[in-house]
A and B are shown apart, each in its own frame.
Chain A
Amino acid sequence: MTIQFNDETFREDYSFKNSPWAIKRFPFPFDKDDYMYSVNMEPHRGGREGSVFQNRFDVDEHYVSEMRDRALVLDNDPLRCQSLPHMTLAGWDLLELIMVAKSEDYPDLFELHRDGNRWRWVNKPMGIDDTFTFLDEATLPYGPMEYITRQAQGDWAVLDQRDDNLWMDAGMITTQADWSLDFDIGMNFFEWHAPVPLAHEKGIFVRALKFLLNIQQGAPARRLNWTMTVNPLLDTSPENYHKWGIQKTTLTPENIGAKQHLRVELQTFYRLPRSNAMVFPIRCYLCAFQDLMTVPKWGRRLHRVIRDLPEELATYKGFIDNRPMMIDYLSQFDDGLPTSPGIWPDLDTEPQLQK
């Protein structure tokens, strides 16, 4: 399959948009008509053909533009990419994992040629053709983690495992849902999740950590998480919140369909072979409400989920003030019919909107 890469922006004029292909494969995160936290982990071993789950690291039409946006963020704030000194080996593990996966899953876009430690990496969409020595940092223009994650969509948290815990000791974080790597680096699993409401009391993090500590090489896992973003802004960082926060107040009943985006994270978890570290890719997908509403099942369901969400979660996810306007808009797309189980659009079997 050949991907047509968009030329688009995630800031200022916000020319980002999803093609009909991208809308249909959007990872809608709600498998039923209500939502509460759960560990909701499953093996990351492929998925439906054409879905975002099919390949290890999904590449889509936003790839080239997302990488351009990442470079802009890093120019402005190099602290978005950090690695504590003991994490360099994990960075090489990650570079290998991504290069092998991309070249195997997208052979028309990426090539990896290995001759012992002499590696040649070809990234056609970004016009990169580099030869370097594996495990020799001096042969790359950046550290190994930074080098490869400047070429891979989504955020990348690299976690050291020790004392029966996971430690956020390295990362490339430029498309985050309002958390700061610079502040959280060095924290353990419970500390960096400390601000999340309700989930600690429900024992979610204790169970999730137990699951993650046992992930084996070659057996990655995945889950979906979600929030809301006004405008297709990838860089919703706390660092820049004083600049983008105001955009939340620009919603009107007229523009909400185009401006309000459901923001979904496909989170995956891989064990790294040499360092025994974990890598936690957090891939962000954005979809405008009006595009989601082209799928009747998603229209019905999103209305019910947002309407019934506990107040603490709407507050934590930062859309409590806009929720009434969202519900007004979404209610137009809910005719009260039942919805089929699961996240898939089911366009051929679900009825059209009956109003």
Chain B
Amino acid sequence: MSKFEFPPSIKSRPVWGTLEPRPGKHHLMIAEAEGAEAILEIATPDLMAKTHLIFIAKGTDYGPKLEALNPMQFRETPTYGSAVQRIERVLSDAAMGLQLYLTGTEGMMGQVMQAAVTAGIPHTAIQTEHRGSVARRMQCVHCKGITEDVEMDPFQCSHCGLNLFVRDHYSRRIAAYQGVCIDAEDPGNVPAPKGIYE
């Protein structure tokens, strides 16, 4: 229900997987909104006893269900912005062999992947699974400002106000897709926005 099959795309676009429990002494799970369902599907008492679980609720009420899994450490935060300092701290303290599980929107997973790679977590220790909103984190190529949770194409840059179309070109370093002015050659001619995958 919360899973979405992304259409085939270009080679810079990230491809997300499906979480599975892995062996190891240390596990960090970060779930955002409907991502909670992916955690509930893989959780076992043994795994959760070795897991630090951070849940970014974004207005959903999965918190009590996740807490009932009895993770070694549990933290619920309302937004990614209120979780990011904790995530960076946990990543910088990570023990060798830490297994990282990310599930939620592309914007959250992209940002944590970037933070994890910066902290020296090997790529092979990171699993991802997309759940919930298919909104994108977009960078305006003109003003460089980032607009979170973009669902419609085209959309208006939340920083400079230009009308941008949503490209599939994706930067892992910025953890964002690229937005480019749609009416540069015909100012004011902006098509009616529709859902990105409609």
Contact = CB atoms under 8 A, between A and B. Distances in A.
B181 A245 contact: yes
Contact of B162 (A79, A185, A193, A242): A242
A241 B171 CA distance: 19
B169 A190 contact: no
A23 B144 CA distance: 38
Interface in A148-198: 180, 182-187, 190-195
A40 interface: no
Contacts of A248: 185
Interface bin, chain B: 20 to 34
Nearest to B164: A242
Interface residues of A, number: 27
Contacts of B187: 246
B11 A180 contact: no
- How would you classify the secondary structure of chain B's contact residues: helix, strand, loop or mixed? loop
A245 B185 contact: yes
B40 interface: no
B178 A183 contact: yes
Nearest to A238: B141
B158 to A, nearest CB: 16
Given A190-B11, A194-B11, A200-B11, A184 B185 contact: no
B123 to A, nearest CB: 10
Nearest to B117: A186
B11 A182 contact: no
B139 interface: yes
B173 interface: yes
A182 B173 CA distance: 10
A241 B180 CA distance: 8
A242 B174 CA distance: 21
7 contacts: A180-B141, A190-B11, A192-B12, A195-B167, A242-B184, A243-B184, A249-B186
Given A191-B12, A238-B142, A241-B142, 8 more contacts: A183-B141, A186-B172, A190-B11, A190-B12, A245-B181, A246-B187, A249-B185, A321-B185
